Structure 1
Amino acid sequence: MEHLDSKFWRGRRVLITGHTGFKGGWLAHWLETLGADIHGVALPPTTSPALYEVARPNLALGETIADISVEGVLDNIFASVKPDIVIHLAAQALVHSSYKAPINTYFSNVVGTLRVLEACRLTYRPRAVLIITTDKVYRNADQGLAFSESDALGGNDPYSASKACCEIIVESYRKSFFHVGNINIGVARAGNVIGGGDWSEDRLIPDALRAFAKGENVILRNPDATRPWQHVLEALNGYLIFSHALLTGASCIPTEINFGPSPEDFLRVKDVIEHFAANFAPGLGWVAGCKSNYKEAKYLVLSSDLAHQTLGWLPKLNAEKAIIWTSEWYREFEHGVDCGYLVRRQINNYTNILTCGRDC
C-alpha cells in the first residue's frame, strides 16, 4: 500500500480541519492534485506571510473560516459536505504558546477534537476519521529510547498533554460509540516537520529565516536537543496511506501509527541549522542563547517500524535532502517564484520518488 492511488482519491469527499495551517495547506494541495473534493474548515492563519495566503489550493467543496470548538460549527459542515473521511489537523500546535496560554491550548485541542467526534456521532458518520496528534504524546524520561505505539502516553508541557488527552478521548469514543465498526478512526503521530511555507513563531526554520533576513545568526535555546526531523511531505504521505487503509477497512491496521524519519536522521537542533544555513545563508549560523524557563525534553526519538510493517510506509527523503528542499523553496519564494507552483512542483517531485524511486 506504499504508493498513493490517484484513482482511489479522485472524487473522494475529504474534510480537512486546519487547512489554513502549514501541514493542512500542503495536504490540501496534494489532495487537489489527486483529484479529491475538499472542504476546509479552520481559523484564519496566524502568520503573515502564510501558506494559505500565498498558495491557496482549489477547494472544490468550499471552505469555512471558523473555530471548530464552537458548538454547531461542525454539525452544519458535516451535514452539507457529507465527507467520506475527516482529517483532523486543526490545533494550537506550538509548545511555547501552550505555556503562555494553557487554557486556550487545552480548549482548542481537546474540545476541537470532541467536536469532530460528536459531529461524527450525531450529525453525519463518515467512513473514516484520521486524528493527527504528535510524537510528543509519549511519557518522556529523556533516555533517548525510540518510542513505539504501545508506550505510555504523557506530556509535561500543556501542548503535549493536550494531545495525549485527545488520544484518550478518541479511544473512549471508539469503544463507547463506534465499536460496531461502522466508522474507522485512526491516530497519526509524526515527528518534527520542515518545509517551505512555515512562518510560525518559535519554530526552528522560521526563526532562522527571520534572523538570517537581518543578517544575524539564529539564537538557539537548546542547540543539543535531538529531534526526529522530516520533510512535511513524508508525514503527509503517511497520513494519506493511513487514510486509504481506514477508508477501505483494511484488516490488521493499527489504530495508532508513528511516522518518523530513519534513525540516522534524528538530528540535534544545531545540526539542522548548520545544514540549512549552508544551503540558504552561507556565512550565517547559530549562537547559543539563554535556556528557556520552560521544560523541554533533550531527546525525542520515534520508531516507525509499525508504519512499515502494516502500511509499507518508509521515509524517502533523508534529513539532508529535506533541508535542501526546504532551503530551495524559501530561496525561490524570496526571488518571487509563484508559491503555488513551488508547492505543486515539490509534490510532483516527491510523487515521482514514490513511483520511480527517484526524480523521473
Structure 2
Amino acid sequence: MQVLVTGSSGLIGSEAVSFFDAMGFSVTGVDNNMRADFFGPKGDTQWNRQRLEAQCRRFRHLTLDIRDRTAVDQVFKSHRFDIVIHAAAQPSHDLAAKRPFDDFDVNAVGTLNLLEACRRHMPEAVFIFMSTNKVYGDGPNRIAIKEQETRWDFDDPAYTHGIDEAFPIDQCLHSIFGASKVAADVLTQEYGRYFGMNTGVFRGGCLTGPHHSGVELHGFLSYLVATAVAEGEYTVFGYKGKQVRDQIHSYDVINAFWHFAQAPRPGEVYNLGGGKENAASLLECIDLVAEATGRRPKLTYSDEHRIGDHICYYTDLRKFKAHFPGWQLTHTLSQIIEKMTCGAPHTTHSV
C-alpha cells in the first residue's frame, strides 16, 4: 500500500510516517519546512525529517510547497497513492493575522490543490484532512460555564460529553486562521459529497506528542513542558489560566485515520481529541508537569486573551467511536506528559 503524507516533518505528519512505515507501507512525505519560516529557528523541523529518514525504511522525502499547483499535480500524476494524509498547515491564530495571504494560500488553496490533483489522477484514494476545532470559532464560549477552583467547565447538560459535530461553525468570530481552515474543511467535505471521493475531515483538539517542534504561538502542552523543564518564562493569556483543553497523543490521531481508511465514509466529519477524560486546564497541566519533572515555569499573566480563543473546549468522541468501535484512546494525559518529559529538548499547540 502507498501512502502520501503532507507536512511529514510536523507532529501529525511524522507520526503518520512512522505509523504506516511500521505497517510495511511505502510512505512518501511532502514537506518544505515552512514551519521554520513561520516561527523561526525554534519551529525548524529538519531534525524530525532526519529522524524519519534514519528510522523508517520505506520512507522517502519530497521537498514541495503545496501552494505550487503544478508541482502538486505532477506528484499525483507520477505516483499512485492508496491513502493521502493531509496534515500540512499554517497553524497559528496570531501569525495568520500578520500574514493572511500565506495563511489562506497554505491552508485553503493548498488543500484545494491536493484535492483536485487527487480527483484527477486517483479519485479512489482515501483522502484524510487534518482540520481543527477552531472551525467552531468562539461559538463554544456562548455555552453556559461555571468557574471552579482550577478550571472552567460547561454548565449545560447538553455538553456533558463535550462539543459534537453538530455544533454550528458560522455566525461567530474565528480568527483568520479559523476561517482558512473552515474553507479547507468544507472543500474536503464537498469533494466527498459532490464528487463521491473517499474524503474524511477530522477536527482536532489539542494534538500533542514528543515530536512537536512547537513555539509559543503554536504548541500548548509540549511548549509548556519544554518551558517548565528549562524553568523559563511562560505567559498565560487570559481566563486566569483556567481555560480547558483536551489533549490527544499523535499516535491516537493516526490510529483513528487508519480505522477510517479501512472503511471510509465519503465527506464525513469527526471531532477528534482527548475527550473529557483527557481534558485539563492550563493551571492543572502546570501541576501535572511539575509532578513529572519537579519543575515549574516562571508564570506571567496577561488579561488579554487571544482572539477567538476558547474558554473551555473538550471533544465529544461518541460519533467516531460509534462508527469505529475498534478505536480507543491509548494515552492518558499523564502518560502523554511523561513521554514528553523524556524528550523535552524537542517537546515544544497553543491555548
TM range (shorter): 0.7 to 0.9
More displaced stretch, 307-316 vs 321-330: 321-330
Q: 2:302 aligns with which of 290, 294, 297?
A: 290
Determine whether 1:190 maps to 2:204: yes
Q: CA RMSD of the aligned region, Å? A: 2.4
Determine whether 1:260 maps to 2:266: no
For the 8 Å contact 1:39–1:81, the answer to whether it is kept is: no
Tell me, in whole angstroms, the C-alpha distance in 2 between the residues paired with 1:205 and 1:319: 10
TM superposition score normalised by structure 1 = 0.79
- Percent identity reads 20
Aligned to 1:147: 163
Q: 1:317 aligns with which of 331, 335, 343?
A: 331
Q: 1:23 aligns with which of 2, 12, 31?
A: 12
Counterparts of residues 100-119 of structure 1 (less than 5 Å): 100-119=98-117
Is the alpha carbon distance of 1:87 and 1:59 closer, same or farther for their aligned partners in structure 2, counting shifts above 3 Å?
farther
For the 8 Å contact 1:226–1:269, the answer to whether it is kept is: yes
For the 8 Å contact 2:67–2:110, the answer to whether it is kept is: yes
1:188-233 deviation line (CA, Å, top 9, x unaligned): 1222022112122222234335534653342222421111112221
Tell me, in whole angstroms, the C-alpha distance in 2 between the residues paired with 1:132 and 1:138: 15
Tell me, in whole angstroms, the C-alpha distance in 2 between the residues paired with 1:122 and 1:59: 30
Shift in Å, 1:286: 4.8
The answer for unaligned runs of 5 or more in structure 2 is: 37-42, 144-153
Aligned to 1:94: 92
Is the alpha carbon distance of 1:307 and 1:212 closer, same or farther for their aligned partners in structure 2, counting shifts above 3 Å?
same
Q: 2:236 aligns with which of 210, 216, 220?
A: 220
Tell me, in whole angstroms, the C-alpha distance in 1 between the residues paired with 2:132 and 2:20: 21
In structure 2, the residue corresponding to 1:117 is in which secondary structure?
A: helix
Counterparts of residues 301-340 of structure 1 (less than 5 Å): 301-312=314-325, 313-330=327-344
Determine whether 1:168 maps to 2:186: yes
Give the letter for the 1:218 counterpart.
Y
1:40-99 deviation line (CA, Å, top 9, x unaligned): 112125224655245124363632111111121111111122111111111111222223
Counterparts of residues 7-22 of structure 1 (less than 5 Å): 12-22=1-11
1:234-268 deviation line (CA, Å, top 9, x unaligned): 2221112112222xxxxx68711122223132111
For the 8 Å contact 1:42–1:64, the answer to whether it is kept is: yes
In structure 1, the residue corresponding to 2:343 is in which secondary structure?
A: helix
TM superposition score normalised by structure 2 = 0.81
Determine whether 1:204 maps to 2:251: no
Tell me, in whole angstroms, the C-alpha distance in 2 between the residues paired with 1:49 and 1:111: 23
Give the letter for the 1:123 counterpart.
H
Is the alpha carbon distance of 1:290 and 1:255 closer, same or farther for their aligned partners in structure 2, counting shifts above 3 Å?
same
Aligned to 1:79: 77
Shift in Å, 1:29: 0.9
Shift in Å, 1:288: 3.5
Give the letter for the 1:17 counterpart.
T
Tell me, in whole angstroms, the C-alpha distance in 2 between the residues paired with 1:96 and 1:275: 27
Tell me, in whole angstroms, the C-alpha distance in 2 between the residues paired with 1:78 and 1:256: 24
Aligned to 1:157: 175
In structure 2, the residue corresponding to 1:26 is in which secondary structure?
A: helix
Is the alpha carbon distance of 1:65 and 1:188 closer, same or farther for their aligned partners in structure 2, counting shifts above 3 Å?
same
Tell me, in whole angstroms, the C-alpha distance in 2 between the residues paired with 1:316 and 1:272: 19
Is the alpha carbon distance of 1:216 and 1:303 closer, same or farther for their aligned partners in structure 2, counting shifts above 3 Å?
same
In structure 1, the residue corresponding to 2:68 is in which secondary structure?
A: coil
Aligned to 2:25: 36
Q: How many residues align?
A: 312
For the 8 Å contact 2:199–2:267, the answer to whether it is kept is: no
1:277-327 deviation line (CA, Å, top 9, x unaligned): 3213x1424524224463122111211101111101221222122211222
In structure 2, the residue corresponding to 1:56 is in which secondary structure?
A: helix
1:10-66 deviation line (CA, Å, top 9, x unaligned): xx1011111021111111011111111111112125224655245124363632111
In structure 2, the residue corresponding to 1:257 is in which secondary structure?
A: strand
The answer for unaligned runs of 5 or more in structure 1 is: 1-11, 247-251, 335-360
